[in-house]
Amino acid sequence: MNQRAIDTFLRACGVTPQPSWPRMLLSLIFVNPPQKPAALFPHIDFTHPHLADVVRIPLQLLWLILVRPRRAPPAHARPSVAHRYRVRAVRLAHQLWQRAAPIRLRMARLLTPNLRHAQKTLTKMATSHEFWDRSFIRYSAYGASVLMAFLCVTTPFGTLSQLVFVLLLLATALLIRRIPGSTVTLLLTVLSVTASSRYLWWRISATLNWDETFDLMWGALLLTAEIYTYFFLVMSYIQTSWPLYRKPLAMPANTTLWPMVDVFIPTYNEPLKVVRSTVFAAMGMDWPQDKLRIHLLDDGRREEFRYFAENLGVNYITRLNNDFAKAGNLNHALAHTAGEYIAIFDCDHIPTRSFLQVNMGWFLEDPKLALVQTPHHFYSADPFERNLDTFKKIPNEGELFYGLIQDGNDLWNAAFFCGSCAILRRTALEAVGGIGVETVTEDSHTALKLHRKGYNSAYINIPQAAGLATESLSAHIGQRIRWARGMAQIFRLDNPFFGKGLNWAQRVCYSNAMLSFFSGIPRLMFLTSPLAFLLFHAYVIYAPAISVVLYVLPHMVHATIVNSRTQGKYRHSFWAEVYETVLSWYIARPTLVALINPRKGKFNVTAKGGLIEKDFFDWTIATPFIILILLNATGLVAAAIRLFWGPQDEVPTVIINLVWTLYNCLILGGTLFLASEVKQIRLSHRVRIKLRAILHLPDGKLIPCETEDISEGGVALRTSVSTLPAIEPNQHLQVSLWRGNEELIFSGLAVFSSTSQLRLRWQFENETDAMNLIQCTFGRADAWVSWAENTQHDKPLESLKEVVSMGITGYRRVIEQFFPKFTPVFRQLARLREGIVWYLPRTPTQSLEHRA
């Protein structure tokens, strides 16, 4: 290499060449260098050299040599020929663009300026052309599509042709995935279904080892799991292909036309504290007072509840037995009331004042409409969110269902009843014999029966009621077990695939809802399958490693692209894996049992409002996963042995299984993270709501402030500037809040105060105060509207990173629990990691480009 080349190279790296090498290195370390190198060494403080810089600078130099930062060409430099041509081309294009303005205008008028709308219009033009009305053309087109799809899926390819095919699919997907609109989503879905179908066909036709019984058994099991996943995927695509996003319909201005509504609030063993708020809020709903009846359905037969209801003028209904739990309770009340419509709220779902006005409109429009469901919104963190610290940051487990699936179902007239926050038409409900009592998920079954009778359902995705999430992980899992068991029961007793009255899409939607609860066993299969090879040398997928990669990866990548696009707002990639893995073990058995004997199994009430007094690790929940982890760890050891001492030709297969096992280990680590319960000490939940408030001081002075959080127990206030006078603890103060434009006042005792913050404990003299508070806070029409505005849309790679780091942390926590003496070791490790990061080279600062 000659001297000039080296100089150019150094300049390229931003280093001024010096006459001699030692001098240059010395100048970098000891002499205040010119600006450029400083920008190239953003992490090194040249004014205060550190001994370690001897290592850090050469490292950074090496990095800069390998990864050259991009920079703008110097302004004074003569433009290259290519650049001049580029400029000319751009200018020409611009002129053409200007010339074409009239045409563009006409096009724009034709297509409307909105791209999404244009897409819709075009799609409509293409799909609703009268051309399609001729059945011959229509069916030949179907036939041709099916034939082409069949060819596309079944044609056997060699490695190279499969590679080309896969790359083409991927290139198409990456090209179009940024374009908004449902048509593109459908196109991406088609690509994904193609990749997955091809994978499944290949799995069935070419990867089973029929010669080895053991391999075949494992292979068949895994294949079954994969077939399940495939059908579930395709059916979800159908279910959510075109979410309806139904808007509320306005009520007529004349309120005498508004129907009579019964509000049912069923309760069994929940404390009055929880139920009170719901009753208060229900009483504050905007509806003609003579057409609104509130009924407290107490299955606990408690005097306290009767007294409370009578005091408020709310109807109290109870019965002598508890047959059929909540379903029986509702049916009993149904027989003792007469309103045209029935709004049902679980006793801890607090409705907003606008609930009825927003949701009743569609009933008046459609006489066959039997059900309007709204989302279940939770203002407290569920155990997953609490333990993973993802509350309000990452969409929770239920958001996918209420955010997307129900809207998708609604298109197919298959929105389900979810037991609460819904309105039912009495005549329809009576036509199906009331709420279903055959299964433990009475709500879905009732909806299924309504649909079979030809009634319609609707879903309005505006949170109009909010409740408490389950408290502990075990309770949360218990609830899911109940759902899983109930769905399996319906699947057996009243299978939506068969029987009368449903259209094919409703069958798909219902079946998919049930199938989703059968995911336990397949998930366990995926968690253990690589072990079959690593431990027992069974070729579960009997194919060369390269083929496996070429078939599996497109299947997974395309599914991720589509799901991230359609579900991204409601569920983040990879997080679902953690949620489902935790549930898999627990729902596997009950679903299997219910499938075999659907009559077994009791209704268990979901406990809410409990306390977790200190941080603890839920060993009962975690045990199965620890066993799975140990198995996978053994697999890792086996993989290492096979890698180093096994036959050479197996290495690629070992690597695939190793990667798979590592992924499983990470997801399982996430479950450990989940099992470490974070303490929760307050009985009433502080809900972060920012509301305008006025603080009334005892001397008659008023200070405007804002609420930070509110609960039934107290409030935290904050002023914009530090102006609060000294407030003694237990001093009596008053706070104004607003219900609509009505200002109401509440008393409280100071608990804590600083110059800008104050916490009060409410001191209520009567029920009216408590009721007003609920109506000023939880009952506001806009209480939950902007709740989700801070959650981010999914970025698959980001999510993967988060899940990986969560998995690692999960392991750390468990080891710290098991062996507390390791804690300092982890601290050391963390410090070591930080130390290493400190040494690592960095990308030069942005300012470099401006300077250059």
Partner 1 sequence: MKVLCVTGIGGGTGVTTVAAQLATALKAQGHPVVAFDFSPDNTLRLHFGMALGDDSGLAPQVVSGQAWNEVAYRSANGVDFVPFGNIDASGLNHFDELLTQQPDWLSRRLDELDLPADALVVLDCPRTFGPLWLQALAAATLVLIVLAPDALSFARARANERAMRLPGNARIKYLFNGFDASRALDRDVVAVFRYELREKLVPVLLHRDEHLREALASKRDIYEYAPSSQAAQDFSSLAQWLATPPEVTPRP
End-to-end CA distance of the chain: 26
User: Which residue, among 737, 685, 735, has the nearest Cα to 713 in the 3D structure?
Assistant: 685
Told to check if 250 binds partner 1 by CB under 8 A, we report no
The nearer residue to partner 1, 372 or 733, going by C-beta atoms, is 733
Angle between helices 303-312 and 272-283 (to 10 degrees): 20
Q: Give the other-Cβ count within 10 Å of 125's Cβ.
A: 9
Told to check if 701 binds partner 1 by CB under 8 A, we report yes
Smallest gap, in angstroms, from Cβ of residue 721 to partner 1? 5
Smallest gap, in angstroms, from Cβ of residue 736 to partner 1? 5
The nearer residue to partner 1, 314 or 737, going by C-beta atoms, is 737
The stretch near partner 1 (CB under 8 A) out of 30-38, 99-107, 220-228, 714-722 is: 714-722
* DSSP structure class, residue 482: H
The nearer residue to partner 1, 315 or 736, going by C-beta atoms, is 736
| Contacting residue, 734, 763, 809, 845, with partner 1 by CB under 8 A | 734
* Rounded-to-integer distance, Cα 679 and Cα 616, Å: 8
* Rounded-to-integer distance, Cα 287 and Cα 258, Å: 9
Smallest gap, in angstroms, from Cβ of residue 744 to partner 1? 7
Told to check if 25 binds partner 1 by CB under 8 A, we report no
Told to check if 111 binds partner 1 by CB under 8 A, we report no
Rule CB under 8 A: which of 253-282 touch partner 1? 253
For Cα atoms 66, 67, 71, give the angle at the middle one, nearest 5 degrees.
135
User: Which residue, among 583, 369, 320, 615, has the nearest Cα to 477 in the 3D structure?
Assistant: 583
The nearer residue to partner 1, 235 or 774, going by C-beta atoms, is 774
* DSSP structure class, residue 649: G
In one-letter notation, the amino acid at residue 402 is: Y
| Contacting residue, 719, 753, 777, 791, with partner 1 by CB under 8 A | 719
Smallest gap, in angstroms, from Cβ of residue 316 to partner 1? 29
Smallest gap, in angstroms, from Cβ of residue 704 to partner 1? 5
Q: Which pair of structure tokens corresponds to residue 637?
A: 């050891």
The nearer residue to partner 1, 621 or 735, going by C-beta atoms, is 735
User: Which residue, among 675, 679, 674, has the nearest Cα to 803 in the 3D structure?
Assistant: 674
| Contacting residue, 19, 74, 102, 700, with partner 1 by CB under 8 A | 700
User: Which residue, among 398, 412, 517, has the nearest Cα to 463 in the 3D structure?
Assistant: 398
The nearer residue to partner 1, 16 or 734, going by C-beta atoms, is 734
Rule CB under 8 A: which of 745-764 touch partner 1? 745
- Residue 20, Cα to own-chain centre: how many angstroms? 60
Smallest gap, in angstroms, from Cβ of residue 702 to partner 1? 3
| Contacting residue, 312, 595, 703, 788, with partner 1 by CB under 8 A | 703
Q: Which of 298, 346, 443, 794 is catalytic?
A: 443
The nearer residue to partner 1, 76 or 701, going by C-beta atoms, is 701
Told to check if 699 binds partner 1 by CB under 8 A, we report yes
| Contacting residue, 7, 743, 798, 849, with partner 1 by CB under 8 A | 743
Residue 425 belongs to what H/E stretch?
strand 422-425
Give the contact letters, 643-682, x = binds to partner 1 (CB under 8 A), - = no. ----------------------------------------
Smallest gap, in angstroms, from Cβ of residue 748 to partner 1? 13
The nearer residue to partner 1, 99 or 732, going by C-beta atoms, is 732
Smallest gap, in angstroms, from Cβ of residue 758 to partner 1? 14
Told to check if 323 binds partner 1 by CB under 8 A, we report no
Rule CB under 8 A: which of 151-190 touch partner 1? none
Residue with tokens 């009433």: 684
Total residues at interface with partner 1 (CB under 8 A): 20
| Contacting residue, 1, 721, 726, 836, with partner 1 by CB under 8 A | 721
Residues 6+ positions from 377 with CB-CB distance below 8 Å: 402, 463, 465, 466, 467, 784, 787
The stretch near partner 1 (CB under 8 A) out of 157-165, 288-296, 466-474, 692-700 is: 692-700
The nearer residue to partner 1, 327 or 724, going by C-beta atoms, is 724
Q: Give the other-Cβ count within 10 Å of 577's Cβ.
A: 19
Q: Which of 53, 262, 299, 407 is catalytic?
A: 299
Told to check if 742 binds partner 1 by CB under 8 A, we report yes
Burial of 735 (0-12, 13-18, 19+ CB in 10 A): buried
Q: Which pair of structure tokens corresponds to residue 184?
A: 């593109």
| Contacting residue, 90, 633, 702, 829, with partner 1 by CB under 8 A | 702
Smallest gap, in angstroms, from Cβ of residue 717 to partner 1? 13
Contact 632/658 with Cβ under 8 angstroms? no
The nearer residue to partner 1, 738 or 811, going by C-beta atoms, is 738
Supply φ then ψ for residue 342, to 5 degrees.
-125, 120
- The DSSP bridge pattern shows strands 292-298 and 315-317 to be parallel
Told to check if 736 binds partner 1 by CB under 8 A, we report yes
Told to check if 723 binds partner 1 by CB under 8 A, we report yes
- The DSSP bridge pattern shows strands 465-467 and 377-378 to be parallel
Sequential DSSP letters for 307-344? HHHHHHT-EEE--S--TTHHHHHHHHHHHT---SEEEE
Torsion 526-530-532-533 (CA) sign = positive
SS3 at position 429: helix
* 290 classed as catalytic: no
* DSSP structure class, residue 255: G
* Rounded-to-integer distance, Cα 483 and Cα 470, Å: 14
* 299 classed as catalytic: yes
Rule CB under 8 A: which of 500-529 touch partner 1? none
Contact 461/403 with Cβ under 8 angstroms? yes
Q: List, by residue number, the catalytic residues.
A: 299, 443
Binding site residues, partner 1, CB under 8 A? 253, 694, 696, 699-704, 719-721, 723, 734, 736, 741-745
